[in-house]
Amino acid sequence: MKPGMTFLQYVKDRLTIICSCLIAIALSLVVVWLDLGIGQRYVNSESLVYIFILGAIVMMAGLVYDYTNQRRWYKEIYNAESNMSDSDFTLCLQHPVSREQKRMHALVTRQYRSFMNELLSLRQDREQHVHFTNQWVHHMKTPLSVIHLLTQQPSHDLTSTETEQLLSSISEEGDRLTRGLDMMLHTARLDKFELDLHVSGLHLQNVIRQVINQNKKALIRYQIYPKVTPGDVIVESDEKWLSFILTQLVTNAIKYSKDKPGNKSLQFLVEEANGVVRLQVEDEGVGIAEQDIPRVFEPFFTGENGRKEGDATGMGLYLVGKVCARLGHNVSIASKLNEGTAVTLLFSTTALHHDLIQRS
């Protein structure tokens, strides 16, 4: 491994001082030679004083020249030390002279750039979190207002059928609150993902059926019939986070299929080949516009359908993409407008282990 600075570079950085020393030595030798050249057997005391003064002058001249050459850099260091701001002090250091100073300047600049990138990322995350929180609060107020209005109706004037419909509406709004709270909880946990991770072998079909059972009331209400391909495979993943991913996909399928008339299907197609498990969740909803597909995994992007829906936050698929990336799963989406949407998950054990090792 090569050192950060070679000996030759070290010598070049101090060439002025070295030259001053050599000149002082050379002048001293000249004075001694002149003394001995006139027949003296030794150098007298006056010559020694002269040699000392002459050498000191030459050395001082070399030091002054070297300091003058680097004075601007030293002044910038002083200004950086006196700078009250801890975030932009490195901007004061702009004129390194020696190779050593240039290397130090490059390292400080690199550290500063890394610091600013991290700071910018933290600011963006905070702004995104604040925006999502405000949006989430706004969406949570809607079902609460609906529940409040429903409970204001006089119960003695309601028939049994109307009472059943009323309770069904309250239950539906309660489910919306539960989904919103669950999304907020998982968004908060995403920052400490590694602390809330337990990877194990999961029966994929069991996880799918569990998610279907959790949403069966909404599926039945909107005549959406799930279909899971026969057979079962085991995938390496985290059960809670995988359930969250599938719940978001099922919720989206319900949200964008419920207004279509007649019976709709929600298919879960599972395939395994070459150690990779492929799960495709395909609905028969309104689909996604072609120009919106490249942006569906961006935060807060709702697209044309989301703007019509009004209940869309633009965070569902974004969180799905983030969680899949953390788990080492690959996610992709394909859709045709007014025909449906298919989301594909790829499970690879090696990809998951590699991703976890990289983060640790």
Domain endpoint, select from 69, 97, 125:
97
Q: What pLDDT does 250 receive? A: 92
Q: Which of 157-161, 203-207, 349-353 has the lowest mean pLDDT?
A: 349-353
For residue 343, list its beta bridge partners: 281, 333
Range of the domain at 311: 200-359
**Whether pLDDT at 297 is above 80:** yes
Q: What pLDDT does 152 receive? A: 76
Q: What pLDDT does 35 receive? A: 79
Domain endpoint, select from 77, 97, 117:
97
* CATH code of 226's domain: 3.30.565.10
Q: Which of 299, 313, 244, 245 is nearest to 125 (CA)?
A: 299
Q: What percent of the chain has pLDDT over 90?
A: 19
Confidence of residue 7 (pLDDT cuts 50, 70, 90): confident
**Whether pLDDT at 357 is above 70:** no
- Give the mean model confidence (pLDDT) for residues 299-303: 78
Q: Which of 148, 246, 159, 168 is nearest to 205 (CA)?
A: 246
Query: Within 13 Å of residue 354, how many CA atoms lie on the same side as its CB?
Result: 8
Q: Give CA angle at 274 (268, 278), nearest 5°.
A: 15
pLDDT tens, position by position, 276-291: 899 999 999 888 888 8
- Give the mean model confidence (pLDDT) for residues 337-344: 90
- Number of Cβ within 10 Å of residue 87's Cβ equals 11
Q: Long-range contacts for 306-314 (Cβ within 8 Å, ≥24 apart)?
A: 309/255, 309/256, 311/139, 311/142, 311/176, 311/255, 312/255, 313/132, 313/135, 313/136, 313/139, 313/183
**Per the structure block, which two tokens stand in for 21?**
């020393």
61 & 206 share domain: no
Is residue 41 situated within a structural domain?
A: yes
Q: Which of 9-23, 152-166, 219-233 has the lowest mean pLDDT?
A: 152-166
Q: What pLDDT does 266 receive? A: 93
Confidence of residue 1 (pLDDT cuts 50, 70, 90): very low
Number of structural domains in the chain: 2
Q: What pLDDT does 308 receive? A: 67
Q: Which of 234, 256, 231, 251 is nearest to 310 (CA)?
A: 256
265: three-class secondary structure by DSSP: strand
pLDDT tens, position by position, 85-112: 666 666 677 778 888 888 888 888 888 8
Is residue 129 situated within a structural domain?
A: no
Cα–Cα distance measured from residue 163 to residue 33, given in angstroms and rounded to the nearest whole number: 121
208 & 60 share domain: no
Q: What pLDDT does 343 receive? A: 94
**Per the structure block, which two tokens stand in for 321?**
């993409």
Q: At a CB cut-off of 8 Å and minimum separation 6, what does 156 contact?
A: none
Q: How far is CA 153 from CA 149, 183, 259, in A?
A: 7, 31, 27
